[in-house]
Structure 1
Amino acid sequence: MKIGERIEAQMKRREWSEAELARRASITQPTVHRIIKGESKNPRQDNIQAIAKAFGCSAEWLWTGQGKAPSGIDGSQESSPAGAAAIVLDMLKKHGKGLTEEAQQKICTAVTESLAEATSNVITADFRRAGPVGDEIRIAHYDVQGAMGSGELVHDFPEMFRDLTVSQQHLKELGVTYKDPAHLKLITGTGQSMTPTIQDKDPLISDASIREFVGDGIYAFAWQGLFYIKRLQVADSEHFEMISDNPSHKDRLIRIDETYIQARILLVWNAKRL
């Protein structure tokens, strides 16, 4: 089995789309697609490591099938004490017909305790930051710049800056609607083609859970290997119209099947609701 086949098998196991894996691994959907289909002959190691992290396995396992196998769909590892005990219990139910239920449970308990003791020398610590206060949420700020002009190179593994903390009530008052605040991301627009709506270097709040066209609006998307922030409208069954709000920049038709939507822009952080 090749690396793309292993990745695709794990996606099917979890019922993840390419877009969902891309979101969880913080890489682009086209990158995921090329790796799965074998179009990327020498995938970047950091992309493979990001995918492995999303699956809870080692990069070695993705390449060779050896090493740390993927975690369960619920995030549990088969090699964990609880996971091992469940496997043992299942085996006993199938093959331990001569044992009482109490005896089977004692064996499982012994397996769990022995595995826990084997890893008891690990020191754990909680490095989580204090949670937001009241109705505050944190919006992750990524080093992603979407060109409002000729396009930017797509970041396969963007750096994350300091989070933005904001009141949900304040966003509601500004007319911003979303389903899950965990999907809100802060990115930056560069260029002049979307003025006066978006100025150069304006921070933008986007909803990264929106990976498909859901109506006229401004989207962050990849097209022909470049990353854009533009207004999209459906021109016909095969094309979007990529629109610049600045009248000095020409609009153009782009193929829908070559356009990979990464997020919908909800708000320019100068209180312009979109």
Structure 2
Amino acid sequence: MKPGERIRQLRKANNMTLHELALRVESDVGNLSRLERGRQGYSDALLQKIADALTVPVSELFSSGELNNTGVLSSVDSLTSVRRGDVYRVDVLDFAANEGVDPPAREVVEVIKSIEYVRNEASVIFGNKPEAYVKLINVRGDSMEGTIEPGDLIFVDVSVSSFDGDGIYVFDFNGDTFVKRLQKVKTELYVISDNPRYKEWTISHHEMAMLNVAGRVLLSQSQQFRRHG
């Protein structure tokens, strides 16, 4: 379920009008209406305010569990179970990820430290992968544009520590860190940027010792921020 749909569901379960919610989160009614209809992006700060107004954790805004007439989840991902620690937490990857553009520090923006999900929702998103194996990075560079946009969050499977088939990886090569697509051709690895403005390059068999894979990218999530005032 999309956050906008869930917010509307929780609001109605709490007998709260859109106008009342707007007052509580200090936002415009029109903005919240567009958010609920999925026609507007939302910031982490606004999500936190909405969660506080609805007296639920932020992770509940991404849940799809059924609500009873008190506005509390009646499924296994109930607020009670969330308070017992039934939360799937994804922390930021402690790895200076960039896309090889000098200086590397400008390629990463650490805007989020962690994201928490109700476990049944996490199982839909990440399968049965343990949370210790999933980390996140916020990418700023544009070399993967078309697949991963500047500012997107990427979720990385850190249980993958070597090349494991064609895909997108976070890796260090000769002291530089990259988020790139790797493809094996005979004994070489081709390093590919999905943005055609960047040239591909290769890692030869003799250079493999300089390759250190931090993880394989599972998925990305768009981060849309719109200012209104």
Give the TM-score normalised by structure 1: 0.43
* Alignment RMSD (CA, Å): 3.1
Aligned to 1:139: 90
1:260 aligns with: 212
Superposed, which structure 2 residues align to 1:65-104 within 5 Å?
none
1:188 to 138, 155, 158: 138
How far apart in 2 are the matches of 1:172 and 1:131?
15
Q: 1:184 to 1:233 in 2, by over 3 A?
A: same
Matches within 5 A, 1:1-274: 136-142=87-93, 144-150=95-101, 162-174=113-125, 176-177=126-127, 179-237=129-187, 239-255=188-204, 256-270=208-222
- Gapped regions of structure 2 (runs ≥ 5): 1-80, 224-229
- Greater RCO (CA < 8 Å, at least 6 residues apart): 2
Q: Percent identity?
A: 30
C-alpha separation in 1, matches of 2:127 and 2:184: 23
1:152 shift after superposition:
6.3
- Secondary structure of 1:205's counterpart equals strand
CA offset at residue 138 of structure 1? 0.6
1:198 deviates by 0.8
Question: Which residue number corresponds to residue 73 of structure 1?
Answer: none
Q: What is the CA deviation profile of residues 86-111 of structure 1, one whole-angstrom value per residue up to 9, with x for unaligned ones? A: xxxxxxxxxxxxxxxxxxxxxxxxxx
Shift of 1:226: 0.5
Change (3 A) 1:143 1:210: closer
Q: 1:268 to 1:160 in 2, by over 3 A?
A: closer
Unaligned residue ranges in structure 1 (runs of 5+): 1-129
Counterpart contact for 2:99–2:177, Cα < 8 Å? no
Question: CA offset at residue 207 of structure 1?
Answer: 1.2
Residue 222 of structure 1 aligns to a residue whose secondary structure is: strand
Which amino acid letter does the alignment assign opposite residue 178 of structure 2?
Y
Of 200-209 and 159-168, deviating more is 159-168
Structure 1 counterpart SS, 2:183? strand
Distance 2:192 2:98 in 1: 13
Maintained 8 Å contact 1:220/1:229 = yes
Equivalence for 1:3? none
Structure 1 residue 153: Cα displacement: 5.1
Quote the Cα distance in structure 1 between the aligned partners of 2:84 and 2:97.
31
Q: Distance in 1 between matches of 2:90 and 2:146?
A: 25
Q: Which amino acid aligns with 2:113?
A: R
Larger radius of gyration: 1
Q: 1:133 to 1:204 in 2, by over 3 A?
A: farther
Q: Tell me the TM-score normalised to structure 2 length.
A: 0.51
| Letter of the 1:187 counterpart | I
Deviations 1:217-259 (A, max 9, x none): 110000010000000011222x210010011111111133321
